[in-house]
Amino acid sequence: MRPSTVPLSEVAVSKTHGEDSPYFAGWKAYDEDPYDAVTNPSGVIQMGLAENQVSFDLLEEYLEEHPEASSWGSGISSFRENALFQDYHGLKSFRKAMASFMEKIRGGKAKFDADRIVLTAGATGANELLTFILADPGDALLVPTPYYPGFDRDLRWRTGVNIIPIHCDSSNGFQITIEALEAAYSEAEVAKMRVQGILITNPSNPLGTVMTRSVLELLLDFATRKNIHLISDEIYSGSVFSSTEFVSVAEIVEARRHEEAERVHIVYSLSKDLGLPGFRVGTIYSYNDRVVTTARRMSSFSLVSSQTQKMLALMLSDTEFTERYLRTNRERLRKRYEFIIKGLKSAGIECLDGNAGLFCWMNLGPLLEEDTREGELKLWELILQEVKLNISPGSSCHCSEPGWFRVCFANMNLQTLQVALKRIKEFVDGRKPKN
């Protein structure tokens, strides 16, 4: 960018928007040469976008059967009311529907109070908002690696807050350990940063795994000991392949009878589970009254369109629909996951044992020329330019162990996935192994 003659702020000129990382560079290659089965069969296949496209037909079917959801009915007198509704409390019917949906996802193992739900334009808005509320500029949040690259922007850019990584590696399936937690906390102390909280993503992006109950207990104990907050980003909670494997921090809070609940906050969104990223529907669920009140006021800067709230209130209060959707969506994701794992295995590639999400965490360590970040990026570029697959290198997720890649499998049809797997197999077969 040519520098502006009129000065802009430090936030404006900083690189913290993060768009210079490979995570975004790969998208450019895709944009310039996108795969299409018919018109561009040798183009780049997008496997870096965590979108859920496997269950759209269910939504389309619902909307077809319920036209009142996307219009305002005959006479359109409800249009006026809906168009005027800008209350930052959000539509009550929508909040109730969200609370009920979140309960269904957790198999009724946790209850959600609609009055603790704050609506935001996407989880992107929610995570930033929580950071503004819980931390000062210069403070730190501890985040387990590998993590979603967007956090670098969402948690740090305008807030001025830092991220200190909690390093995880394959020695134990990338689970958080007490040693890693303590090390991260000490690192913050050495850097003279006040730690205000821990932010986890559960199920994890990019790992595609749920957190175990014991790790969640560990985290809550640690947060209590240090008197800090715990934010649990559960946006993939409806994308766990089996209906019973997910343990939400909400369950732990309830098991502890809400003791120390005031430090716990959950982020949710309809972008992944329902595949509606365009509609910008995110929520913050907090057990802390002060946080709820403040978040509500602050949500003025990123409210959800009342038109969208109205449509989704109808859809998500339809329990017959939501039950069927969750059940079917899980099943389809599970099948996709099995398909890609099998395909990669036949190419001699192992993945982390996953049970959730829209991606798998693939291990290309054996294919690296050097076991370094540079080695990983070299391999990544090769895969992008020659194999024409846009996958996300672990280093863009701040993974401390080189050679891992996140590969999305739900944002394309099965045929495209087959083509991608074929290309990977050919690539691996054509390469000499490290030793």
Catalytic member of 30, 231, 236, 272: 272
In this chain, which of 107, 137, 138, 348 binds another protein, going by CB under 8 A? Answer: 137
Q: In angstroms, give the least distance from the CB of 387 to another protein.
A: 25
Q: In angstroms, give the least distance from the CB of 99 to another protein.
A: 21
**Is 30 considered catalytic here?**
no
In this chain, which of 145, 209, 248, 306 binds another protein, going by CB under 8 A? Answer: 306
Residues in region 208-237 near another protein by CB under 8 A: 227, 229
Max CA pair span of the chain: 73
Near another protein by CB under 8 A, which window of 64-72, 101-109, 374-382, 394-402?
64-72
**Is 272 considered catalytic here?**
yes
Q: Would you say 157 or 339 has its CB closer to another protein? A: 157
The site map against another protein for 142-181 (x = CB under 8 A) is -----------xx--xx-----------------------
Peptide bond connecting 203 to the previous residue in cis, omega within 30 degrees of 0: yes
Residue 243 touching another protein (CB under 8 A): no
d(CA 147, CA 213): 20
**Is 105 considered catalytic here?**
no
The site map against another protein for 26-55 (x = CB under 8 A) is -------------------------x-x--
Q: Contact 30/389 with Cβ under 8 angstroms? A: no
Q: Which amino acid is at 278?
A: G
- Neighbouring C-beta atoms of residue 312, cutoff 10 Å: 23
Sheet holding 359-363, edge to edge: 350-351, 359-363, 404-408, 392-393
d(CA 159, CA 260): 26
Long-range pairs of 223-229 with CB within 8 A, sequence gap ≥ 24: 223/197, 223/198, 223/260, 223/263, 224/260, 224/263, 226/185, 226/195, 227/263, 228/195, 228/196, 228/197, 228/198, 228/263, 229/134, 229/196, 229/197, 229/198, 229/263, 229/264, 229/265
Q: How do beta strands 404-408 and 359-363 pair?
A: antiparallel
Q: In angstroms, give the least distance from the CB of 410 to another protein.
A: 12
Provide the 3-class DSSP secondary structure of residue 266.
strand
Catalytic member of 30, 35, 147, 148: 148
Q: In angstroms, give the least distance from the CB of 188 to another protein.
A: 15
In this chain, which of 266, 304, 356, 358 binds another protein, going by CB under 8 A? Answer: 304
Q: Which amino acid is at 90?
A: G
Residue 307 touching another protein (CB under 8 A): yes
Which residues, in sequence order, are bridge partners of residue 167? none
The site map against another protein for 79-118 (x = CB under 8 A) is xx-xxxxx--------------------------------
Q: In angstroms, give the least distance from the CB of 137 to another protein.
A: 7
**Is 233 considered catalytic here?**
yes
d(CA 89, CA 295): 10
Residues in region 261-290 near another protein by CB under 8 A: 262-263, 271, 275-280, 288, 290
In this chain, which of 48, 122, 149, 343 binds another protein, going by CB under 8 A? Answer: 122
Q: In angstroms, give the least distance from the CB of 24 to another protein.
A: 10
Query: Active-site residue numbers?
Result: 148, 233, 235, 272
